[in-house]
Amino acid sequence: MLKHLGFTSLALCLSMAAASPAWAVDAQPAQVDGLLTVKSAYSAPESLKRVEDALKAKGLTIFTVIDHQKAAQEQQLDMPAASVIVFGNPKLGTPMMVQTPTLAIDLPSKVLVWEDGKGNVFVSMNTAAYMAKRHHLPESVTAPLAGLEKLVPAAVQ
């Protein structure tokens, strides 16, 4: 009985989520603790390229880019552009994760390039201070990540 109730609850939640597309609403960036969000001066594809190029120019490895819009379209769902760039520097990140294994949930780093319901493009990423607080570290440990908070916004402004 409980197993059936669990599946019914899950199905209800999923159907409600599908019936009310959050992207259709003007999804202006909310103030989210630990998240830096800046408005881009470029289209989503151009913003994505500019951020990738800036990261590569600093010697960072792009591990993958997850295109949420494409995945949605493959399921016959609509959603504005939303792509996550997963990147990092294993030489820098590995010692950090060895010292604090829980950092592996947040590393490699990620940048979200997304478009709201009105065609505005934004770039979002976790802040170094948030990562330090989340993992109970001195900010000096995550300081190498702080440079991204200038690099990424500069690429799209």
What is the pTM assigned to this prediction? Answer: 0.81
Phi and psi at 81, nearest 5°, equal -55, 135
The answer to whether the beta carbons of residues 57 and 69 sit under 8 Å apart is no
| 98-115 pLDDT per residue, tens | 999 999 999 999 999 999
Q: Which domain holds residue 52?
A: 26-155
Decide if 56 is inside a domain: yes
Q: Is the pLDDT of residue 88 over 80?
A: yes
Q: What is the pLDDT of residue 29?
A: 67
Q: Residue 100 half-sphere exposure, CB side, CA atoms within 13 Å?
A: 18
Short-list 63, 64, 33, 48, CA closest to 126:
33
Decide if 113 is inside a domain: yes
Decide if 109 is inside a domain: yes
Mean pLDDT (the chain) is 86
Q: What is the pLDDT of residue 22?
A: 47
Decide if 67 is inside a domain: yes
Decide if 137 is inside a domain: yes
Tokens 């408005």 belong to 39
Decide if 136 is inside a domain: yes
CA angle 142, 145, 147 (to 5 degrees): 130
| 5-48 pLDDT per residue, tens | 454 444 444 444 444 444 444 555 668 889 999 999 999 999 99
Q: Judge if the upstream peptide bond of residue 90 is cis by omega within 30 degrees of 0.
A: no
Task: Put residue 31 in one of left, alpha, beta given phi > 0 → left and psi -120 to 50 → alpha.
Answer: beta
Q: State the CATH number of the domain containing residue 146.
A: 3.30.310.70
Q: How large is the average pLDDT for residues 93-101?
A: 93
Domain count, the chain: 1
Decide if 72 is inside a domain: yes
Q: What is the pLDDT of residue 13?
A: 46
Q: Is the pLDDT of residue 60 over 50?
A: yes
Decide if 81 is inside a domain: yes
